[in-house]
Structure 1
Amino acid sequence: MPLPLEQISIPPGRYALGISGGADSTALAVLACRTAAERIVLAHLNHQLRGDQSDADEQFVRELAATLRLPLVVSRRDEITHDDLRPANPSARYRAWRHTFFKTVIASHQLDGVLLAHHADDQAETILLRLARGGGLASLRGMAMSTVVKGLRIVRPLLAIPAADLRDYLRSVGQVWREDLSNASLDYRRNVVRMILAGDPQLAGWLREVGDAARHTIAAMERAAPRLDRRFPCESLCNIPAPVARCAAGRWLIEAGAPADDVSPAVCARLIRQATDPESPLRQHYPGTLLVRRRKSHLDIVQTADDR
């Protein structure tokens, strides 16, 4: 079943395309080749985690690139600079490796960003996982179609397309792909969530609808939230709806250097209390080694990571 190509929108510019050899990234590569071949550089990172299977994935990607006549950059995990790549969570660590690799490819080929093959099922899984971690309203919006993460522009052209449609498309054009057996392991929380959603397809659809509603709601709150200067009057966070105040507080912390993943609703609420509650501590630490001080009815940052 050919996918309607109008569903596959690649913004202007030239992009790396992250490819593992799995069905999703293979489908993205085939579709991108048909619509924007002159603007694509395939990028494959061999994680070296599955022995011969990892090497077979790399060989598959090399052959696919030759078939599609697309340029390809391949690197291996042991070639990646390990500065700041220390997340304890394995999935976060692997993602950090890939992002570092993509940044290298983008810089060396003068590209505008990276295309990733996250699809509609991935979106539902992400929303459910974030909701389980207690991330508040922001957790419900899931992944953005286009975003910037630590200087890396990420575009997800397949985000509205179910995984089953991508596999059907590959079968319709006679294109094979690689299967990663670790995707069936229940040692990974995402795989457990994937199995839950597979047993109730309606649930995945509802989660995506909730995600769409959350994105629109958050966008409205961001427009309504006051933009705070580095030093701002405490009253700026008073007399506005609590969700709008949390949005303003979170944006202020992130712009000051706090890691976005660490700016939780609880962290934002603490900043608001520091601004509005005279009994709260005058000086408090926040993610990203930020030290925030309340003085003369103002909040300001007296120390950042760059000051240490």
Structure 2
Amino acid sequence: MAASSRVALPLNRSLLKMGERIAVAVSGGADSTALLLALQEEAAELGIGVSAAHLHHGIRSEEADADLEFLRGLCARLDIPLHVDHIDVPARAAAEGETVEEAARHARLAFFDQLMQQGTVHSVATAHTQDDQAETVMMKLIRGAWTEGLGGISPMMERASGRLIRPLLPASRQDVLAFLKNRDQKWCEDSTNASTVYTRNRVRGVLMPLLREFNPSIGATLSAIAELAREEHARWQPEIARLLQQLAMPGKPVRGGGRAVATLPEEQGVAFELERLRVLDLPTRRRLIRAAVERMGVRLGAAETLRILLLAGLAPPETPPDPTVPTKPNSRLQLAHGLRAERSVRELRLVRVSDGSPKR
């Protein structure tokens, strides 16, 4: 095929650093197959080393075995090293009290971390596309999300072991299929993608086609919203960090002055003077409370944050009363994950007593 007729795959090449060894997380599906092939074709020009990484999840046993054999053949043909590991995801899910999806995600991250910690690779590239981004934003909207949630899939995630990068985010699924067809490259189909048990599959198969009737470019539109949301969140971060340093106080006041800090290792606490919170605008109050709680290992939803504001007398005036939330001084409100909010005459105190298990 003439070079001029070759279809290019849209990539975020700014994520690909010269001299890096990059493992492409491959499942055998269309997206990861296309990303692996595209990076292999451009490796010399970009100055990167390319390998592939596949985790056999212990699900869909025969189909998964066939996926692995497909990948072995593909990597051999492309002369690309293939890193493989096996894990029984259903057994992990049962042992850890996770859903199968959560267990699979945590297992993949552990596999990627291991490759980077060992120095086998510097970064791992996952094959998330523009369609994945749009579906993620819609799922966040359905569930209710803050600005950072609407940011969806970040192009790059720094981990202690190395970087997770998503260079395929600019590409739509149509781009991927056109690229593979142009290369006459086959891929594997995951039978679970057709299952309506999974929310993402219902969003992909039912909701997104409906939205395309209103806006044929809905994928690009939602991806642009995600980028704006990430930029907004990044803009807020330094300001909230500064306010936390200025306004957050440890422990609680004691007679004669000073503050008593919790002595139990499993207890964390922080307090704010109500008057200093009151002078802040509502978006800043929300973000400050959420940031303080997040440092304790808990992520607050919109409803929980509003309940804390109601307890503190800092909610918007038009907020309907909530009979489950006390609004007088010297009251407390018990929330999920061991989190408790306490209101005194002068302060709002947030306390978490942990049972030792991390908040997921």
Q: TM-score range by the shorter chain?
A: 0.7 to 0.9
Compute the displacement of 1:254 (Å): 1.9
Question: Following the alignment from structure 2 to structure 1, what is the Cα–Cα distance between the partners of residues 63 and 32?
Answer: 17
Instruction: Answer whether contact 2:59 2:89 (CA < 8 A) is retained.
Output: no
Q: 1:24 to 1:302 in 2, by over 3 A?
A: closer
User: Match for 2:13 among 5, 8, 21?
Assistant: 8
> 1:212 — aligned with what?
227
Question: Following the alignment from structure 2 to structure 1, what is the Cα–Cα distance between the partners of residues 7 and 296?
Answer: 46
TM-score, structure 2 as length reference? 0.72
> 1:279 — aligned with what?
328
Kindly name which structure, 1 or 2, has the bigger radius of gyration based on alpha carbons. Answer: 2
Question: Following the alignment from structure 1 to structure 2, what is the Cα–Cα distance between the partners of residues 125 and 243?
Answer: 27
Instruction: Answer whether contact 2:286 2:305 (CA < 8 A) is retained.
Output: yes
- Paired letter, 2:304: V
Question: Following the alignment from structure 1 to structure 2, what is the Cα–Cα distance between the partners of residues 27 and 126?
Answer: 21
> 1:233 — aligned with what?
272
TM-score, structure 1 as length reference? 0.82
Percent of aligned pairs sharing the same letter: 27
Question: Following the alignment from structure 1 to structure 2, what is the Cα–Cα distance between the partners of residues 69 and 167?
Answer: 23
> 2:32 — aligned with what?
25
Mark the runs of 5 or more structure 2 residues left unpaired by the alignment.
1-5, 251-269, 315-326
> 2:263 — aligned with what?
none
Task: Tell me the number of residue pairs that the alignment of Structure 1 and Structure 2 aligns.
Answer: 305
Instruction: Answer whether contact 1:8 1:158 (CA < 8 A) is retained.
Output: no
1:253 lines up with 2:293 in the alignment: yes
My pick for the range that moved more, 173-182 or 265-274, is 265-274
Aligned to 2:52, the other structure's residue is in SS state strand
1:299 lines up with 2:316 in the alignment: no
> 1:198 — aligned with what?
209
Compute the displacement of 1:237 (Å): 3.2
- Paired letter, 2:273: C
Instruction: Answer whether contact 1:222 1:244 (CA < 8 A) is retained.
Output: no
Compute the displacement of 1:187 (Å): 2.4
- Paired letter, 2:36: A
1:46 lines up with 2:56 in the alignment: yes
The C-alpha deviation readout for 1:240-291, integer Å capped at 9, x for no partner, is 2222222222222222222xxx421223334444555662665555555445
> 2:324 — aligned with what?
none
Aligned to 1:227, the other structure's residue is in SS state helix
User: Match for 1:268 among 305, 308, 311?
Assistant: 305
Structure 1 or 2: more helix by fraction: 1
Compute the displacement of 1:127 (Å): 0.7
Compute the displacement of 1:21 (Å): 0.7
Aligned to 2:59, the other structure's residue is in SS state coil
User: Match for 2:76 among 47, 55, 66?
Assistant: 66
Instruction: Answer whether contact 1:85 1:93 (CA < 8 A) is retained.
Output: no
Instruction: Answer whether contact 1:147 1:155 (CA < 8 A) is retained.
Output: yes
Compute the displacement of 1:129 (Å): 0.9
The C-alpha deviation readout for 1:22-43, integer Å capped at 9, x for no partner, is 1111111122222357544421
Give the RMSD, CA atoms, in angstroms: 3.4
My pick for the range that moved more, 266-275 or 181-190, is 266-275
